[in-house]
Each structure stands twice: as C-alpha cells, then as structure tokens.
C-alpha cells in the first residue's frame, strides 16, 4: 500500500501540467494529503513487521544488469515516509498563495516529494540512486525560479554539491556491484565484502550521502540553499532532503560495509561534534533569520551523525528519531520565517525588532516560541526525546564527545533565544525602523493549519516517543553493523 505514495505523487505532478493554474494548489494539497494518509495508514498498520525490510514490490527492470524495480519497507522507512508526508502537506499549505507560475511550482515540489518517497522505499541500489538523483533537478528549479536572496548562486551551489555527492555514491554502488554482482540491498547486507574493499568503499559511499546531510566541512551548501529557496523549498530541504543523505548513509553505507564503518566511525564522531559546535557558533553571529535557522539545521544534523557513529541500538535509534524530529521542527521554523518575509520583505533581525511582531503577528510569535522550545530540546517536544536518546547512546561509545556536544547545546539555546528575542520581543528602536513599515496581512487559515500540523506532530512525538521508537528500534537492531560491533 505504501508504494502508492510514489505513484499518487507522480500522478499528481503529471496532472498539474494538464489543468488550469487556479486548480494547482488544490491538486497539490489532495496529492500530498493522499500520500500522508497512505504513509500514516501503513505506519499504524499491524500487518507490517518493522524489524524486517519486507518486499512490497519486486519486478524485473533491467534483468541483464540485475536491476529490479524493488520496493521494501521496515520501521525506519515507515518513520521517514511519514515525516515526508507531513512536511509535504505543510509545504503546500504554506505556499497556498503562490501566484507566480503555480502549476510549475507545485509540479517541481511534487517531484521532490515523489523522489524522496522513492529513496526511503527502494530495496534496489540502482533504483535508490535514480530516485536520489531525481530530487536534485527539481530542487534547482524551485530555488532558481522562485527563490530570493542570491537564488541563482544558491541553486547552483546546492546542485553542484549534490552532484558531487551523487558521484561518490555512484562509485560506491559500482564497487558493491562489482564485488557481489547484485543490487539487492537485502542480499548485499548479507554479503561478506573483503575488508580491504570496505576500508575505502565505506568512506566514499558514506561521504557521498553525508554531503546531502550537511556534514562538516561539506555543509556550506545548506545555509546558502535554505536562504535562497522559497519557503516551501526551505521546508523540503530541512524536512526531507537532508534526511535522504542520513538515511542513505545508514541503510546503504553502514549496513553494506560494517567493517569499514567500524574502521571510520571514530572520525565520523569527530566530524559530528565539530559540526554541532561550529554551526551553532556561526548561527550565533548571523543577522539573517533564515541563516540562523539554516546553520541550526546543520548543527542538529550533527546530532544525527553522532548517533550513527555511536554504533549501538540506542544511539542509532535516536538518530532516526532525530531525523523525524528535525524534519518537523526545521520545516516549521522555515515556514514561520517565510510568513514573516512575505509580509515584511526583510529577514534582518534588527529590522524585525522594529516591527513589534509579537503584536502585529501574534500567531507567528506563538508558533515560533513553541518551535524554538522544540529546537532547543525542551522536555515535552520531540527534540528532547531524540537528543537525549542520542546522547545516552553516544555516552556509551564516546563520553568525551558528549561533554563537547554539551557546549554546542548551550550555543543552540543561545542563538535560538537571541533570534527569538530580536525577531519578536525586542523593544522597537526608532533609528532602525525601515523607511516604509509594511501594513502586515493577517495570518491565513492555510498557514495556521500548516503550523498546527507541525506543532501537533512535535508535541505528540515528544510526549509519547514510544510510538515511533517501537517501529525504529526493531529495524535498527536487525541491522548488520550492530551485530559486527557486538
């Protein structure tokens, strides 16, 4: 059933090309809503065993090269498909008033969503690579056409980094295929690759995926891309696209080359800690609200990498939970930044301080306060559940890394509170008032629905994370690299 998330989304994208522009947003909403319902129904279904990567579709595609159209699902895939559906619906709702070429806008948006579903469900390496690359071109057009600040530069930088990472992934896939003569991920996860191959194939393959996850020092595309992208583009980048890289690193690189992972995981922990602390420190110096959130995304994705590097069930399960959590929280933060920019035409924190936004945009202020609390890891939100799980798992493997990460968490709180205060709760200064303060439009029903969807999700996952962990943990425990570590 969950395979229909791909088919429905692609069908909606094609339908958009055939209908009048005024129907585009409704088709996009119905399409993403159907995908969310399908993913949600499968997530809560008792017929799916979360511990096994169970085949749902498997038909020959290119038999001479052993390539199949092979889809499968386990607890990790279910969790990330669910956050894809939630983010997609939210992105459409926050783009409800899109007037410039709406058909093309929602067409590219749905292609990104369809490709993301495909990556999370692929059980064939080449099929996964096809879906992975499918996401790149729509990202470019969404930013280059509908973006704002330095949009051509941001779109090109993101695309070049993505293609660079994709090239490394392709080399890793070729190495696995040449050694095992198979592209079936389940079969490859049981194949005994020579340690000499794993020693170089793992870092190549993992780094290729990690580029899209914003790993330091190959993270610079992320803040630039986020700032240049339209609101929906930033939401998709933070909520879904960065998770593709982390998922690929887990599902493919770590699971196929467990000995190589054990050789390199210490260095992955080092890069993770640097990314957490460095990105948080840079975010503390930013004046553009979107740059603050962009570097925040890099810092929070560092927690995902740290959880993966821990190489134990608790740390890796926390990493997957963080992928879900940050997908929701990051998308919400960018959505609120987009709401503000649409009305004020500025993201500069000094300019926003002069607009008294807590009174002119009370709903945005309320939502940003809750999103900030979730981002800082306040108990009761999904961010706390994910980060505490990662830190406990990481403590068992790298206690020193957890101490250093604590400094990063302090800086996360510092830059989040700084942005919150200056954007919404600063006392207006006459000297910083823009020349023509805008008459701010009220928050729309679509924006309120989108924000409530994200807030409900992060609260539900924070209050009762067992709902997600009951599906994530069995899938993680079944993975090969844990058995190798043991």
Q: End-to-end alpha-carbon separation of the chain, Å? A: 35
Instruction: Give me the mean pLDDT over the 280-286 stretch.
Output: 89
Assess whether pLDDT exceeds 50 at residue 9. Answer: yes
Between CA 395 and CA 373 the distance in angstroms is 24
The pTM score is: 0.92
Domain range for 421 is 4-485
Q: Write down the mean pLDDT value for the chain.
A: 88
Supply the pLDDT for residue 307: 93
Between CA 382 and CA 362 the distance in angstroms is 24
Supply the pLDDT for residue 480: 75
The number of angstroms, rounded, from the C-alpha of 68 to the middle of its chain's C-alpha atoms is 27
292-323: per-residue pLDDT in tens? 998 998 998 999 999 999 989 999 999 999 99
Between CA 398 and CA 312 the distance in angstroms is 11
Instruction: Give me the mean pLDDT over the 418-424 stretch.
Output: 88
Instruction: Give me the mean pLDDT over the 27-33 stretch.
Output: 94
Instruction: Give me the mean pLDDT over the 450-475 stretch.
Output: 93
- pLDDT tier at 39 (50, 70, 90 boundaries)? very high
- Better pLDDT: 433 or 25: 25
Share of the chain above pLDDT 70, in %: 97
CB 332 within 8 A of CB 366: no
Supply the pLDDT for residue 12: 93
Instruction: Give me the mean pLDDT over the 267-284 stretch.
Output: 91
CB 283 within 8 A of CB 248: no
Assess whether pLDDT exceeds 50 at residue 486. Answer: no
**Which residues are CB-neighbours of 64 under 8 A, at least 6 positions away?**
none
Supply the pLDDT for residue 485: 52
H/E segment holding residue 127: helix 125-134
- pLDDT tier at 435 (50, 70, 90 boundaries)? very low
Supply the pLDDT for residue 311: 87
218-256: per-residue pLDDT in tens? 888 888 888 888 988 899 988 888 899 999 999 999 999
- pLDDT tier at 112 (50, 70, 90 boundaries)? very high
Between CA 51 and CA 424 the distance in angstroms is 45
Assess whether pLDDT exceeds 70 at residue 67. Answer: yes
160-176: per-residue pLDDT in tens? 888 899 899 999 999 99
**Which residues are CB-neighbours of 248 under 8 A, at least 6 positions away?**
119, 128, 132, 169, 208, 209, 212
384-410: per-residue pLDDT in tens? 999 999 999 999 888 998 899 888 888
Supply the pLDDT for residue 229: 86
Domain count, the chain: 1
Supply the pLDDT for residue 169: 92
CB 97 within 8 A of CB 26: no
DSSP 107: H
Between CA 453 and CA 467 the distance in angstroms is 17
CB 94 within 8 A of CB 450: yes
Nearest CA to 298 out of 281, 279, 284 is that of 279
Assess whether pLDDT exceeds 90 at residue 463. Answer: yes
Instruction: Give me the mean pLDDT over the 118-137 stretch.
Output: 91
Assess whether pLDDT exceeds 90 at residue 136. Answer: no
Assess whether pLDDT exceeds 60 at residue 431. Answer: no
């Amino acid at each position: 059933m969950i395979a229909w998330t791909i088919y429905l989304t692609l069908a909606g994208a094609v339908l958009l090309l055939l209908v009048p522009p005024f129907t585009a947003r409704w088709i996009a909403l119905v399409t993403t809503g159907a995908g969310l319902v399908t993913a949600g129904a499968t997530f809560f279904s008792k017929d799916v065993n979360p511990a096994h990567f169970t085949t749902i579709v498997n038909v020959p595609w290119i038999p001479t090269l052993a390539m199949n159209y092979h889809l499968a699902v386990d607890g990790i895939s279910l969790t990330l498909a669910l956050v894809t559906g939630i983010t997609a619906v939210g992105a459409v709702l926050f783009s409800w008033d899109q007037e410039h070429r709406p058909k093309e806008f929602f067409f590219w948006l749905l292609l990104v969503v369809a490709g993301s579903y495909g990556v999370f469900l692929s059980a064939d390496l080449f099929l996964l690579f096809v879906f992975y690359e499918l996401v790149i071109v729509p990202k470019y057009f969404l930013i280059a056409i509908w973006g704002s600040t330095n949009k051509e530069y941001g779109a090109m930088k993101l695309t070049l980094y993505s293609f660079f990472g994709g090239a490394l992934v392709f080399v890793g896939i070729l190495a696995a295929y040449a050694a095992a003569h198979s592209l079936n991920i389940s079969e490859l996860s049981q194949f005994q690759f020579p340690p000499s191959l794993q020693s170089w194939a793992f870092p190549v393959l993992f780094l290729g995926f990690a580029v899209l996850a914003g790993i330091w020092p190959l993270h610079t595309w992320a803040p630039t891309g986020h700032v240049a992208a339209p609101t929906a583009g930033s939401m998709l980048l933070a909520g879904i696209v960065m998770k593709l890289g982390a998922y690929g690193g887990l599902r493919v690189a770590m699971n196929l080359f467990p000995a190589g992972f054990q050789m390199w995981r210490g260095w992955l922990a080092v890069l993770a800690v640097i990314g957490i602390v460095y990105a948080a420190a840079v975010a503390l110096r930013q004046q553009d609200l979107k740059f603050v959130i962009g570097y925040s995304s890099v810092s929070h994705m560092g927690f995902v990498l740290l959880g993966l590097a821990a190489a134990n069930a608790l740390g890796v399960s926390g990493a997957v939970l963080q992928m879900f959590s940050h997908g929701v929280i990051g998308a919400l933060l960018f959505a609120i930044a987009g709401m503000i920019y649409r009305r004020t035409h500025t993201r500069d924190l000094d300019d926003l301080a002069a607009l008294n936004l807590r009174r002119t945009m009370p709903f945005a202020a309320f939502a940003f306060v809750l999103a900030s609390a979730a981002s800082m890891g306040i108990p009761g939100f999904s961010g706390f559940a994910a980060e505490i799980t990662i830190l406990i798992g990481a403590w068992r493997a790298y206690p020193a890394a957890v101490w250093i990460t604590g400094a990063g968490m302090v800086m996360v709180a510092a830059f989040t509170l700084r942005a919150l205060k200056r954007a919404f709760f600063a006392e207006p200064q006459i000297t910083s008032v823009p020349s023509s303060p805008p008459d701010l439009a009220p928050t729309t029903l679509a924006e309120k629905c989108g924000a409530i969807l994200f807030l409900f999700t992060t609260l539900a996952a924070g209050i009762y994370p067992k709902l997600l962990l009951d599906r994530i943990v069995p899938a993680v425990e079944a993975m090969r690299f844990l058995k190798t570590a043991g």
